[in-house]
């Protein structure tokens, strides 16, 4: 019964495998099943050929029985060889179909993404650009306020040592302006702080710190005013060195960013090869 079933199944498998090689509608799952079925059929045919060969050379069999066994061996070997020719073609076809299905599935996912997710970024970009202009305007006004305030404090008479000028209406204004980075979405350029703002922020922070130190110095309005002046000069040196270091850091960060963007643009233009 087993031999008859193998003999009947092989032609049907051959026909289905050959048809699958030219059928553009066959799925990767169907091809995977055919690949597995072909491998099993090859193993079964080879097993049958080995068993029939052993029977064909069994001297206990009469000539006719041995001849029939030999014919069955040849037939099973032929089936195995034929399926071995089909097997790599089936595997190749399976791989092609699987890659095409994966590509089609990804394209559908991409199209869905572009149709559902992408439109939402456009209003968000418009909101950012509107907010960017508002924030730039706010930062500029605060920076102008700080500059004018510093100039006013610098002109303050010494006998008004405890007199001060109103702070900007936000906490830690100078730190916020110095530490915040804002970028243009169109070209990625940094729009805050620019080189001019960087220099100005350093000066403003220095003036602010010196003014605060002067207003709190107990010797400012006494015969020991020279001590307060010496302390202010020392504080000015320290603050100037700190701001110079901060300015160099900002300039280095900006240079590194520009260089990185240039490298990325060059790599993109040359296919990612440096």
Q: What is the pLDDT of residues 168-182, one digit of tens each?
A: 677 676 677 777 888
- Confidence at residue 140, expressed as pLDDT on a 0 to 100 scale: 85
Q: Which residue has the higher pLDDT, 93 or 229?
A: 93
Share of the chain above pLDDT 70, in %: 72
Per-residue pLDDT tens for 9-50? 444 898 899 999 989 899 999 999 999 999 999 999 999 999
Q: Which residue has the higher pLDDT, 142 or 162?
A: 142
Say if residues 63 and 56 touch (Cβ distance below 8 Å): no
Per-residue pLDDT tens for 66-91? 899 999 999 999 999 999 999 999 99
> What's this model's pTM, rounded to 2 decimal places?
0.48
pLDDT for 231 beyond 80: no
- Confidence at residue 177, expressed as pLDDT on a 0 to 100 scale: 78
Mean pLDDT of the chain: 79
Residue keyed to tokens 């004018």: 148
Q: State the SS3 of 91-121.
A: HHHHHHHHHHHHHHHHHHHHHHHHHHCHHHH
- Confidence at residue 26, expressed as pLDDT on a 0 to 100 scale: 93
Query: Whole-angstrom Cα distance, residue 149 to residue 134?
Result: 22
Q: What Cα–Cα distance (Å) separates residue 240 from each residue in 165, 196, 201, 202, 244? A: 22, 17, 12, 8, 6
Q: Which residue has the higher pLDDT, 99 or 194?
A: 99
Domain ranges of the chain: 2-116, 123-269
Query: Whole-angstrom Cα distance, residue 220 to residue 41?
Result: 103
Say if residues 217 and 236 touch (Cβ distance below 8 Å): no
Highest-pLDDT range among 1-15, 135-149, 167-181:
135-149
Running DSSP on this structure, what letter comes out for residue 190? E
Say if residues 154 and 165 touch (Cβ distance below 8 Å): no
Running DSSP on this structure, what letter comes out for residue 130? H
Query: Whole-angstrom Cα distance, residue 252 to residue 165?
Result: 34
Say if residues 90 and 31 touch (Cβ distance below 8 Å): yes
């Amino acid at each position: 019964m087993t031999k008859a079933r193998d003999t009947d199944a092989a032609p049907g498998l051959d026909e289905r495998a050959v048809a699958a090689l030219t059928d553009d509608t066959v799925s990767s799952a169907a091809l995977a099943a055919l690949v597995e079925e072909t491998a099993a059929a090859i193993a079964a045919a080879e097993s049958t050929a080995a068993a029939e060969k052993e029977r064909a050379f069994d001297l206990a069999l009469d000539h006719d029985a041995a001849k029939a066994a030999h014919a069955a061996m040849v037939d099973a070997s032929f089936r195995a060889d034929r399926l071995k020719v089909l097997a790599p073609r089936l595997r190749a076809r399976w791989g092609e179909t699987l890659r095409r299905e994966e590509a089609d599935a990804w394209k559908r996912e991409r199209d869905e993404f572009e149709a559902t997710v992408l439109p939402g970024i456009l209003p968000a970009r418009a909101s950012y650009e509107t907010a960017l202009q508002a924030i730039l305007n706010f930062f500029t006004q605060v920076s102008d306020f700080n500059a004018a305030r510093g100039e006013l404090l610098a002109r303050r008479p010494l006998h008004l040592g405890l007199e001060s000028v109103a702070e900007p209406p936000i906490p830690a204004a100078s730190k916020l302006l110095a530490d915040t980075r804002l970028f243009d979405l169109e070209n990625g350029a940094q729009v805050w702080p620019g080189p001019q703002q960087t220099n100005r922020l350093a000066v403003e922070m220095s003036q602010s710190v010196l003014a605060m130190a002067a207003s709190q110095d107990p010797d400012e309005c006494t015969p020991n005013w020279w001590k307060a002046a010496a302390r202010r000069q020392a504080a000015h040196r320290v603050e100037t060195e700190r701001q110079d270091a901060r300015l160099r850091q900002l300039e280095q960060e900006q240079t590194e960013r520009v260089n990185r963007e240039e490298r990325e643009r060059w790599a993109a233009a040359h296919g990612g090869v440096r």
